[in-house]
Structure formats: structure tokens, C-alpha cells
Chains A and B, each alone.
Chain A
Amino acid sequence: MSLNELEVQQVVASSHQSGDYSPLVKLIPYASMIGMHVTRLGDEAVFHLPKSEDNIGNPVLPALHGGVIAGFMEQSAMLHLMIFMNSAVFPKIIDFSVDYLRAGLYRDTYATCQVWRQGRRVGNVAITAWQTRSKEPIATARAHFKLD
């Protein structure tokens, strides 16, 4: 990894300006590997994980690997904090807790985030992931991030 903070800051700043976060996602190898996208809708953001064979866990159902769903949710929360804090630093994960409510089938998955508390040093984010209806989540999670 040879990127320096200045380069990252430039990408983040131009993403904030254009509202197109794909250059930022492209900077993060894990986010690119799972294939996620960000759509900014006014003051909200929806995160999208298109179905991909490499993200499958249980091959018989088939279902997405629970770890990928959690990783997608964690990355969504991180990006959500960066987008709405106008931040150029990557929030650092402190803890992450996920409840799996339904099987994450081999389909497109979506996530939205809610920042419940943003202090100077720590942020608390709740994440909801769904596939067919937002009212029927496949998983909910919450995470704390260190912001400074």
C-alpha cells in the first residue's frame, strides 16, 4: 500500500464535492473486493452489495457468507461516517455486533446507517441490511468507531 494521506484526502474531498463516492470505494481494497457501491440520495446514503459468487458461504442454499454481510455493514458504517462528517480520515473500528435475522440469500443486498451518537472521539452507528424489503432486514448491527 503506497497511498499517502494527502492522496486519500484529495479523493475524499472530490467525492464530497461530486457526490460520487465510487473513487473513494475504489481506494479501499476490501470494499472493491466484495464489490460494494454507494448511492448518495440527498442527505441520505444507500449502500449496495450486488450479488457475487465469490461472496457465497453456504453453497447449498446458496447464501452469502455471514462475514461478508457483516463486512459490508461495517464498511457501510465507516463510509457513512466519512460522508456525513466530511471526514478525510478512516474511522477505526472499536467493536462490532451483528444480529442475523434471516438468511442472506444469493441476491443483491442493501444497507442504510443511522448515527445515534457522534462525539468528538467516538461514534455509534446502527446498520440495517436487507434484500427484498427494507422493513424485513436480513441483519442489524451496531458499531463503535474511534474518530480522531
Chain B
Amino acid sequence: MSSIRERAHNFLSVLRHCQHLGMQIEQADEQGLIIKLPYSDKIVGNPVTGLIHGGAITTLMDTCCGISTVCYLPTFEICPTLDLRIDYMRPAEPGKPIFGFAECYRVTPTIIFTRGVAYQEDREQPIAHVVGTFMRMGKAAGQAELGGKVDGGKV
């Protein structure tokens, strides 16, 4: 079995839209997961101010909360998002990357509750707070290929 960091990396590597945005794993262990979203002109939501679009931050945080399940689950399970809520604390500073941190704070046989923050310089001064709920589908048939890629093989 590969490490949490490898599994998180493998998971992120198969998500095409995340590759399109250039997302990278910064840190992954039992305590949670950090993903970096680099600043780029194509994810700007406000052409006057250069602020990153909320959708890109939602994508970062949905991905981060979703992949944080590998910090807790010993083997890959497909866990679709049930719901996700984002509260924006302050605008992100244009030109700088955004980091997403997420952790699973409660895991039941059917549901995983995650929470996290999006931040730039300081995790104590978040841009956004996030909570997301995910459903555990078990090792669903048809997703074995994905599970193999995440848990084992090099992607």
C-alpha cells in the first residue's frame, strides 16, 4: 500500500479538470490534506479587479474535501459529494496561489463529514470556510480501475 501522500497525488492526477487548473498536493497525512491552486489569468472571475472566480475556489475545496477521504480510509472508495457550502471571509489577493486545507472530522459507515479552509499566506486568516458531506459507496464495481490507480499504480 502506498503512502497517504502518494494516494492523494494519484487521486488528484486522474481528475482532468484539476490538472487543467494546475492543482498540486502540498501535504497529505493523517491530519488532513493541503492542495495548491496556482493563480492564473484564466480563472479570474472579475476582469476589473483580477479576483479569482468563486467557482475555481469551489473546485479546489470540493477536490480537497473529496481527496481528504484518503487520509482516513485505508483503501480507495468512491465518495460522491452530497453537499458543499462555502462562506467567503475576504477576497483573495490576485497574483498569489490559493491553498485548500481539508480534514474528515466524522466518518460513519455511510457518510463522511469534512471541513476545511481556503487561504493564501496564513491558514488562521482564511479566504473561505468550507464544509462538505460525502457519501460512501464502498468499493463499487466499475470503479475498480480508479481504485487501482489511486491505491497502487503509478499514474
Contact = CB atoms under 8 A, between A and B. Distances in A.
Nearest to B49: A1
Contacts of B84: 66, 70, 97-98, 100
B55 A72 contact: yes
Contact of B59 (A1, A8, A65, A92): A65
A71 B41 contact: no
Given A3-B48, A29-B47, A95-B85, A71 B56 contact: yes
B17 A98 contact: no
B17 A60 contact: no
B20 A54 contact: yes
B145 A29 contact: no
B80 A90 contact: no
A13 to B, nearest CB: 15
B73 interface: no
A42 interface: no
Contacts of A70: 55, 58-59, 62, 84
Contact of A74 (B41, B54, B85): B54
A70 B142 CA distance: 25
Contacts of B44: 1, 28-30
Contacts of B22: none
B54 A93 contact: yes
Nearest to A64: B17
A30 B43 contact: yes
A96 B54 contact: yes
B87 A1 contact: no
Interface in A45-64: 53-60, 64
Contact of A93 (B60, B85, B88, B146): B88
B141 to A, nearest CB: 11
Nearest to A11: B47
A107 B91 CA distance: 32
Contacts of B18: 57, 65
Interface string A91-113: 01111111110010000000000
Given A1-B41, A54-B16, A65-B18, A96 B58 contact: yes
Interface of A: 1, 3-5, 8, 27-34, 53-60, 64-68, 70-72, 74-75, 90, 92-100, 103
11 contacts: A33-B43, A54-B20, A57-B15, A65-B17, A66-B66, A67-B55, A67-B56, A74-B54, A93-B54, A97-B86, A100-B81
Given A1-B50, A57-B15, 4 more contacts: A3-B47, A28-B44, A28-B47, A75-B53
